[in-house]
A = this chain, B = another copy of it.
Amino acid sequence: MKRKRKGSAGSFKKSAEKLVEEILAGERAALAQAITLVESNAEHHFETAQHILTKLLPHSGSSVRIGITGVPGAGKSTFIDSFGTYLCNEGRRVAVLAVDPSSKVTGGSILGDKTRMERLSKNPHAFIRPSPASGTLGGVARKTRETIILCEAAGFDWILVETVGVGQGEFVVREMVDFFMLLVLTGAGDELQTMKKGIMELPDLVVVNKADGNNLERAKAAIHEYQSILHFLKPYTAGWETTAVPASALYEKGIKEIAQSVQDFIEETENSGILQERRTSQQKEWLHEMIKEQLHYMFMKDEHISKLLPRYEQKVLSGDQSVSLSVRELMNLFFSKRKQL
């Protein structure tokens, strides 16, 4: 099957070098190609992708990284379309990435993303990349983190990472961005009941979207409600008060103020050192999370383990054997088998 590789390792390296150069020159096709390599699960792409990443790492890190989430129907796409277009008009280069662990089911949303963000997708200063189409949440997160690095090296200075609010996506995205935004609708009470546990404690800004037309009064009430909740919660970022603000993505109201709020945040946290601290701890956490995930992956894909694990689960659930003893036996099995390799 090795024949499937095109060319030798030598020409691979050469093409990797070429990609690096082109990405640094801001070429979108090269960026897209490198992201595909990073997203690939094929073993023979790993080396090339890592070669590119290592070269680009020194050129990354200087963007504003923003996470955006919200309940379905909160108008995330329209908001990102407005927000991103505004930023581009202000001279920014904007990359939009998505973390959507559910897309393995729907088969990705490439077409969806283009249609969803009509104006932004045509903007020469914007780059929209749908979520990696498969993998565990940890895997999807790794790909998105590495894609952020590639986009930054390509000169994109505002990275918007969208998460659709499935599973633990918000928590994972919170761990890879500087600033986190929660998009909500009017009617806080009902909405909060449907939100996942802990979500309200993640954002640096709550945006009450669709604050327009007949909705204006309800939006005001929602802002009041969210403010009173936020008053009781500990802000995610020490020294930064999370507030609720109105916006109308449709009528482009509040967009400028939100961009300003992000700017203020970056300035303040840069001065206080919190931003650098956050990035350092995110990086360290990422390393340790990936170690844990990889160890678990190696364990779960082990032939013997995958055969015997259900039996142990059964024993534990029926009360025939303690958890400790089961774990002990499974560990012996896993590591002793490896010794014989």
Contact = CB atoms under 8 A, between A and B. Distances in A.
A211 B166 CA distance: 41
Contacts of A292: 292, 295-296
Interface stretch (A70-78, A91-99, A231-239): A231-239
Interface in A179-237: 188-189, 192-198, 200-201, 225, 228-229, 231-234, 236
Nearest to A296: B292
A313 to B, nearest CB: 6
A53 B299 CA distance: 26
A320 to B, nearest CB: 7
Interface string A298-315: 110000000000001100
Contacts of A232: 188-189, 192-193, 200, 225, 229
What is the total number of copies of this protein in its complex?
2
A330 interface: yes
A299 B290 contact: no
A53 B287 contact: no
A58 B319 contact: yes
A288 to B, nearest CB: 9
A287 B323 CA distance: 6
Contact of A60 (B60, B319, B321): B319
